[in-house]
Structure 1
Amino acid sequence: MEGRWRGISTVLVILAGLAASGSSYQIIEGPKNATVLEGSEARFNCTVSQGWRLIMWALNGTVVLSITPSEPIITNDRFTSASYEEGGNSISEMIIHDVQLRDAGHIKCSLQNSDRDASAFLSVQVMGALLIPGGNLVVAEDEPCNVTCHAWGWIPPPGISWDIGVPVSHSSYHSVPEPNNPQSAVSVLTLTPQGNGTLTCVATMKGLHAHKSVTVNLTVVQPPLGSIDKAGTSLPTWAIILLAVSFSLLLILIIVLIIIICCCCVSGREIKESSYQSEIRKSASVKTNKETFETNLESGSENLGYHSDEPRTAKLASFAPVSSESSVQEQHSSRQPYQGPDRRWWGPAGRPQVSFPVASPRTVRNVTLV
C-alpha cells in the first residue's frame, strides 16, 4: 500500500513539473490490435519522440500503468512494462500477463501535455474442450459409420477438421454450431472404413495459430456371417425393430393357441369319461330292473302287464272248449285259492263253459286259453 501511494505521489510531482516546463512531444507510432488466448500474454508498443516525461497506458478507459524516464509506476502486477531506444525515439511496451476474458477491449497509449493518443483493440479467445464421445471405436468393414466430435466452451466457436488415418472408400464431414449454444460446435464425420487406423479431430482458433486435437483408434472387424455387407442394402433400424416385434407377437400367439388346445382336449376327455360312466350306471340300472322283473314273474307276485278287460275275457271264454275248464280248475286248485266270488260264463243251452275265481291283479298270472 505504501508503494502504491508513493507511486501516485511521484506521478503527481512529475505532472506538476511537466505542467510547469511546458515541454511538447508526440506519439510517433501507436499500439496495434492483438488477439490472444485466455491465460497467455499480450504485448503492446507505443513509440514516442524524445523529451517525453510520462507515458500512460489505459485499458477500457482505466489507467493501469504509468511510465517515467526513470522507472515505471506499477499499480497491478498483471501489467508490467519494458523500454527500448530506436533511432533516437523511445519505445514503451506494456505487457499484460495471464490475460482474462474481461481484459478484451480498448488499449490506449497517451502522453502528458499532448493532445494526441493512440489506441488498439485487444481480442481474447477462449479454447474450450474437445471430445469424441465413446472413445475408441469398433466398426464393421465396408459399412458406413458416423463419428462425432464436440467442441464445448470455445470463444469464438472453432473451425473443426479431421485427420483420417485409416483406409476408406468414402469420407466426408460437416461442422455446425450446436443449437442454443453459440460457444460450441459439433462436427460429424461419415466414412466407410476398410482397415484399422486412427481418427483425429482438430479444432483451430480463428485468427490464431492455436489448435487442439483429440485422437481415437478405429478397429475394423468382419461383418457377421449371413449379414448383408453391401452399403445401402442392409435393413434400416426401424425395419429390424418391426421384425423383432412381429416375431415376438407370433411366438406369444402360438403359445396361447397351444394352451387353448390343451385345455379343450382335457375338457373333452373329462366329458367323454363322464358320459361313459353315466352309460355304465344306466346299463347297470336297467339290468338290475330287468332281473327284478324276471324274478317277480317267476314268483308270481306281480303281473305288470295285466289290464282288467272283462268283456274281452268273456268273449274269449265263450269260444273255449269244455275241456279247458278242468285244466283251469286243476291249475287253480294247485295254488293257494283266492277266497272270492266265483264267476261263470254260460254258453248256449244254459251250460256253464268256464268257471274260475277272480283273482287280485297282483296275484294273477297270464292265462292262455286254448
Structure 2
Amino acid sequence: MRKCKLLLFFPLVVAAEVLLVPRERVVLRGSPASYNCSISVPWEVMSWLRNGTVLLTISIKHGVLGGDTSRYTAVNYTTDENYKWEFTIRNVTRKDSGEITCDVTDIQSIRAHLSVQEGGTVSILGGNLTVKHGDQAVFVCVASGWFPEAQVSWSVNGIMVDTGNYNTSVEPIGTLLNSRSTLTVAASDSAQVQCLAKVPALFIPQTSSVFLIIETLQADRTVLIAVTVTFSVAALVVLLIVGIVCYCKRKPEKQSHYQEEVMSHRQSTEEIHGKDNPGFITGGHESYLSNSEAAKSSQIPDISQTNSNHQTDIKTHEGMTIRHQTIV
C-alpha cells in the first residue's frame, strides 16, 4: 500500500523541479524576448529550442556550448539554492513567434509561448471638422500596418466613447492588417476628438487628434458685423473731430507768427531809416539811397514850404563831397 503512494507522488516531485517563466510573452518586432529556466537539482545539459529547433546549448560545467550567439544569449544567475539561466532572443521577428522550450536532459522539458506583434500608424482622415450646431459629425480613423489587427477606440474631450457609437472593419494587406473605424457624434459643443490604436505588446496606444468646431450662427454673425461697423463709424467721427480741432488751433498760431514777422520787419525798416543821411554825396555826384530819397521827399519839402529862406553849403573833404544845408 505504501509503495503505491510513493509511485503516485514521485512524478509530481519531478515535475516541480524545473520552472520556466514567463509562460506567455508578447513583444513588438525588433524588441528582445527573455525567459528564465530554474532547476532545483543538479543537471548536466540544458537546451533552448524554438518550435522544435535547437537555438542554444548550455553545460553545467562549461557554460554555453554553441549556437548563434549574435542573436541568442544565455546568462547564468545560479545561486547556492537554485540553478538558474536566462535565455534571450535579440531583435525578434515574426518568424520567432511560436513555442519556446527549456529542455533539461534526463530531467524535464518545459514549454512557453512567444508572440511577436507589429505596431503601425494611425490617423484621422480630413483633419479638423466644422459643422452646424445639432448636426451629425462623422470622423474616419485609419490604422495601417498592424499585426494582429489594431484595437481601435475613440475619445471626445478625454472621455472614452461607447463602442456602440462607432464601427470598425479590418482589411489584410500582405502579412499586415489595416483597420478603418467610423465615429458619429452629435455636434453640440466644440471638442477634441481622438482616435487610439494599440496591440497587446504596445503599452501606450498610438493616437491621432483633431478638433470638432461648431459653426457660428448667422444671427451671431449679423450682430458681430453690426457692432464692428458701429465701432468703426464712431472711431472715424472721433478722428474727424480731433483733426478739425487741431487744424483750428494751428491756424491762429500761423497768423500770429506772420503778424510778428511783419511787425519785426517794420521795426527793422524804421531803424534803418533813422540812420540815413539825406545830405550824403559820394564821388562828386549826388547819389541817394532809396531811403534817403524817401526821407528828402517826405521831410525837406514840408519844411521848405513853411520857410523858403535856407542856405546850402557844400564842402569837399578827402575826396568826399559833404553838403550842409541850413534851413531857417
Per the alignment, residue 64 of structure 1 pairs with 55
In the TM superposition, what is the alpha-carbon distance from 1:224 to its structure 2 partner? 5.5
Match of 1:102 among 95, 109, 124: 95
In the TM superposition, what is the alpha-carbon distance from 1:117 to its structure 2 partner? 0.9
Per the alignment, residue 205 of structure 2 pairs with 211
Q: Check the 8 A contact 2:121/2:143 in 1, yes or no.
A: yes
Residues 1:153 and 2:119 are matched in the alignment: no
Amino acid at match of 1:79: Y
Deviation readout 1:336-356 (Å, 9 max, x if unpaired): xxxxxxxxxxxxxxxxxxxxx
Per the alignment, residue 124 of structure 2 pairs with 132
Extract unaligned runs of 5+ from structure 2. Answer: 1-13, 220-328
Q: 1:148 to 1:36 in 2, by over 3 A?
A: same
Amino acid at match of 1:97: R
Give distance in 2, aligned partners of 1:174 and 1:84. Answer: 50
Give distance in 2, aligned partners of 1:144 and 1:26. Answer: 61
Aligned 1:228-247 pairs, distance under 5 A: none
Deviation readout 1:269-293 (Å, 9 max, x if unpaired): xxxxxxxxxxxxxxxxxxxxxxxxx
Residues 1:184 and 2:174 are matched in the alignment: no
Per the alignment, residue 356 of structure 1 pairs with none
Amino acid at match of 1:116: Q
Give distance in 2, aligned partners of 1:184 and 1:135. Answer: 19
Q: Check the 8 A contact 2:165/2:183 in 1, yes or no.
A: yes
Give distance in 1, aligned partners of 2:138 and 2:15. Answer: 65
After TM superposition, which residue ranges in structure 1, 4 or more long, deviate above 4 angstroms? 24-27, 179-182
Give distance in 2, aligned partners of 1:187 and 1:116. Answer: 48
Per the alignment, residue 83 of structure 2 pairs with 90
Aligned 1:1-370 pairs, distance under 5 A: 27-31=17-21, 32-69=23-60, 70-72=62-64, 73-85=66-78, 88-112=81-105, 114=106, 116-165=108-157, 173-179=165-171, 183-206=177-200, 209-222=203-216
In the TM superposition, what is the alpha-carbon distance from 1:209 to its structure 2 partner? 3.3
In the TM superposition, what is the alpha-carbon distance from 1:216 to its structure 2 partner? 1.6
Q: Check the 8 A contact 1:136/1:217 in 2, yes or no.
A: yes
**TM-score normalised to structure 2 length:** 0.53
Q: Percent identity?
A: 27
Per the alignment, residue 337 of structure 1 pairs with none
In the TM superposition, what is the alpha-carbon distance from 1:135 to its structure 2 partner? 2.1
Q: Check the 8 A contact 1:166/1:194 in 2, yes or no.
A: no
In the TM superposition, what is the alpha-carbon distance from 1:203 to its structure 2 partner? 1.3
Give distance in 2, aligned partners of 1:166 and 1:56. Answer: 50
Alpha-carbon RMSD: 3.1
In the TM superposition, what is the alpha-carbon distance from 1:61 to its structure 2 partner? 1.8
Extract unaligned runs of 5+ from structure 1. Answer: 1-23, 226-370
Give distance in 1, aligned partners of 2:76 and 2:207. Answer: 38
Per the alignment, residue 330 of structure 1 pairs with none
Amino acid at match of 1:214: S
Amino acid at match of 1:28: V
In the TM superposition, what is the alpha-carbon distance from 1:97 to its structure 2 partner? 1.7
In the TM superposition, what is the alpha-carbon distance from 1:179 to its structure 2 partner? 4.8
Q: Check the 8 A contact 2:137/2:185 in 1, yes or no.
A: yes
Deviation readout 1:130-172 (Å, 9 max, x if unpaired): 11112233333321110011112221112221110199xx996
Which protein has the larger Cα radius of gyration, Structure 1 or Structure 2? Answer: 1
In the TM superposition, what is the alpha-carbon distance from 1:219 to its structure 2 partner? 2.5
Give distance in 2, aligned partners of 1:173 and 1:153. Answer: 24
